[in-house]
Structure 1
Amino acid sequence: MTHEPPPQEYARKQTGPLSEAAFTLLVQGVLDYGIFMLDPQGYVISWNAGAERIKGYSAAEILGRHFSVFYPTEDKEAGKPQWELETAVADGRLEDEGWRLRADGSRFWANVVITALWGEQGELRGFGKVTRDMSERRAAQHALSERRRLFDHLVQAQETERRRIAWDVHDDSIQAMVAVGMRLELLAERVPESCAAELERLEASVRGAINRLRNLTFRLNPPGIDRHGLIEGLSNHLDDVVGAWGLTRSFEHRLDREPTPETAITVFRIVQEALLNVRKHAHATAVTLRVESADGGILTRVIDDGTGAPMSRDVVHEHFGIIEMRERAETAGGWWSMRSEPGTGTTVEFWVPSPEPTPPLTDDLP
């Protein structure tokens, strides 16, 4: 039977030469972080394998050299290395991100922590310095920022084109149809009675076409989303459009903040298409819309109580409205799904990221 030593005895065993050797072995073996020490003047006095991997200097090449060798010329001229040591002394530690130099002169983006080390008498013994290469993360941030910029540009271009088409339809096609309707009305007063019924049918067709064109312009450029935000835009759409279809509707929302205009437009357009599909295909009497913040984005569900239908591959991959909804969500960096079974209605669910507006990345050091 074995007995564990009491905590005090265990602590004493861990503070001897063996413990110090193990700690040194640990520090020396770390590859993802450059861990080294500076003397009080900033000269390198220790060097681990991670520092060699990240910065490219062997211990023999760097020991005894001033740590300012890692900084670009503009930072050295600005006195940044000395300022960092002075700040670490004053505050106990300093954390910074910025450009650093490798032995071959190439730059990498580094996260750096400098900690002042004090002796038992309160004297400055030097500095501990931990460096991590953040170049891949920075490149990923740049790529994500560029993708977001392109996505925002795409959404804005699509909405601009929709507005242009809506205006063209309103100012050209609708006005032309209205003129045709007025001419038919005048003509009806002059033709024989035998032609009146046919003219009335033509006039009804023109009125129907005008109404369809007006509905089209509304779908292309619904009012409110750009002025009042996502929630009010969706609420108005449910009241003005879905209510006019005679469907019972409910709206549940829990957003922690207003999304960017591009994200709001993306959510609105997918919901708009999902509701249009409910009207055309679901034979529903009620629809529920739920919008909530989740996982750094917006999770949305459109649920109807219609007849439902089995989800075949042809439905998912060939229906234009479904393709448009899925592509909008995926282009935004999110996902889209639809569940439907006979007799249980249909649920359209999608998630899109909702990043906070951020300024573009720069190469300026903090």
Structure 2
Amino acid sequence: MAVDDLPQADIELLVQSIRDYAIFMLDPRGRIASWNAGAQRIKGYTADEIIGTHFSVFYPPEDVASGKPAMELEAAAADGRWEEEGWRVRKDGTRFWASVVITALRGEAGELRGFGKVTRDLTERRSMARALDERGLLLAHLVQAQERERRRIASDVHDDTIQSMVAVGMRLRALGEGLPEEHAAGVGALGEAVEAAVGRLRDLTFRLRPPADGLVEGLTAYLEQEMAGVAYELVNRLDGEPPPESAITVYRICQEALTNVRKHAGAVAVAVELASLDGGVHVRVRDDGVGITREDGRNDHFGLIEMRERAETAGGWWSIRGAPGMGTTVDFWVPAVPHRTS
């Protein structure tokens, strides 16, 4: 029996049963008209939740803002087909690397009836490929070199600068004890300034140290040390300890995110969630603070730029969202596949 001879119901049953590919139809305006089991598995929505919604819901915010979904439909309508690989978004907000094909569907008279869309999740394959390339190996070496340099600086500051300043503080206290009251007050103020500087340097050496005992242990220690006055929760859903360069990248991004919470958010509570996902580590840092607005310029803050660059350099993604007064969520994912050394 030829494919053309198969009953329509059997063809629909076949499409609906496929789980490795998201296969669905769009109307001419881009609204979802059908939904198969693979689409639900890959994207997370049930048919009842998603049918009738515009397909741009699957695109990252920056792609929606640039008009990319509409451009892809226009290209498919003009050329009959559009194909690409890129980031897409699941129902829970996480991203996955997708292979996407959009095909224009036309009636016998040539009128546009809609589009067929096939999506495949390539995140794990992309992570594996990246782990084996020379760029990934170079990145691993770079991260390790950066952490060695941070460790050296921390050691130098602790063993030399801090010890010298502690000695200066002790001498100032001794000197103040033998001076008249009007002079002792000034020397005492100098001693207090030196003591405060020593405290800041000790905080710096702590922040410079890498998570030597593992990612979860390192983040736990950082939360205990730095988040005084803020209730915190660390949720660990990792399958195991990530490779060292991945753990360090995650730790440094979390460190910057938590620093922002402590300095800028005015938060009462913060939660850090770690989970194994798509061959990598997915992290959410959520606070209940002041949130963000377009007007406050925080998206251009150096720390936010650094977080994004760390994630993207590692082959992952990073995003931030939050409405005024509704808290802020930093969301990112980095691959966690060991690199070959030869």
| TM-score, length-scaled by structure 1 | 0.56
Which residue matches 2:92? none
Which residue matches 1:262? 245
Equivalence map 1:66-105=2 (5 Å): none
Which residue matches 2:157? 169
Read off the aligned partner of 2:218 and give its amino acid letter.
Answer: G
Q: CA RMSD in A?
A: 2.5
SS of the residue aligned with 1:355? coil
Contact 2:235 2:274 survives alignment (8 Å): yes
Match of 1:349 among 302, 327, 331: 331
Contact 1:253 1:291 survives alignment (8 Å): yes
Which residue matches 1:213? 201
Deviations 1:188-219 (A, max 9, x none): 02221111221221111111000000000000
Which residue matches 2:119? none
Contact 2:131 2:338 survives alignment (8 Å): no
Which has more radius of gyration? 1
Read off the aligned partner of 2:151 and give its amino acid letter.
Answer: R
Instruction: List alignment gaps of at least 5 residues for structure 2.
Output: 7-124
Deviations 1:59-81 (A, max 9, x none): xxxxxxxxxxxxxxxxxxxxxxx
Which residue matches 1:339? 321
SS of the residue aligned with 2:311? helix
Q: Residues 142 and 235 of structure 1: is their aligned pair in 2 closer, same or farther, counting only changes over 3 Å?
A: closer
Equivalence map 1:163-312=2 (5 Å): 163-222=151-210, 225-226=211-212, 228-242=213-227, 245-312=228-295
| TM-score, length-scaled by structure 2 | 0.60
How far has the Cα of 1:144 moved from its partner?
4.7
SS of the residue aligned with 1:341? coil
More displaced 10-residue stretch of structure 1: 203-212 or 142-151:
142-151
Contact 1:234 1:268 survives alignment (8 Å): yes
SS of the residue aligned with 1:168? helix
Contact 2:132 2:339 survives alignment (8 Å): no
Deviations 1:14-39 (A, max 9, x none): xxxxxxxxxxxxxxxxxxxxxxxxxx
Deviations 1:75-119 (A, max 9, x none): xxxxxxxxxxxxxxxxxxxxxxxxxxxxxxxxxxxxxxxxxxxxx
How far has the Cα of 1:357 moved from its partner?
4.6
Read off the aligned partner of 2:326 and give its amino acid letter.
Answer: T
Read off the aligned partner of 1:172 and give its amino acid letter.
Answer: D
Give the distance between the partners of 1:285 and 1:147, measured in 2 at CA. Answer: 41
How far has the Cα of 1:167 moved from its partner?
1.1
Give the distance between the partners of 1:294 and 1:312, measured in 2 at CA. Answer: 34
Read off the aligned partner of 1:283 and give its amino acid letter.
Answer: G
Q: Residues 292 and 142 of structure 1: is their aligned pair in 2 closer, same or farther, counting only changes over 3 Å?
A: closer
Give the distance between the partners of 1:333 and 1:316, measured in 2 at CA. Answer: 21
Q: Residues 5 and 183 of structure 1: is their aligned pair in 2 closer, same or farther, counting only changes over 3 Å?
A: closer
Q: Residues 285 and 354 of structure 1: is their aligned pair in 2 closer, same or farther, counting only changes over 3 Å?
A: same
Q: Residues 176 and 333 of structure 1: is their aligned pair in 2 closer, same or farther, counting only changes over 3 Å?
A: same
Q: Residues 305 and 141 of structure 1: is their aligned pair in 2 closer, same or farther, counting only changes over 3 Å?
A: closer
Read off the aligned partner of 2:136 and give its amino acid letter.
Answer: R
Give the distance between the partners of 1:264 and 1:161, measured in 2 at CA. Answer: 17
Contact 1:248 1:285 survives alignment (8 Å): yes
Give the distance between the partners of 1:145 and 1:213, measured in 2 at CA. Answer: 39
Equivalence map 1:130-149=2 (5 Å): 141=129, 144-149=132-137
Give the distance between the partners of 1:193 and 1:235, measured in 2 at CA. Answer: 46
Which residue matches 1:159? 147
How far has the Cα of 1:324 moved from its partner?
1.4
Give the distance between the partners of 2:221 and 2:238, measured in 1 at CA. Answer: 17
How far has the Cα of 1:232 moved from its partner?
2.2
Q: Residues 313 and 302 of structure 1: is their aligned pair in 2 closer, same or farther, counting only changes over 3 Å?
A: same
Read off the aligned partner of 1:339 and give its amino acid letter.
Answer: R
How far has the Cα of 1:220 moved from its partner?
0.4
Give the distance between the partners of 2:236 and 2:157, measured in 1 at CA. Answer: 34
How far has the Cα of 1:257 moved from its partner?
2.4
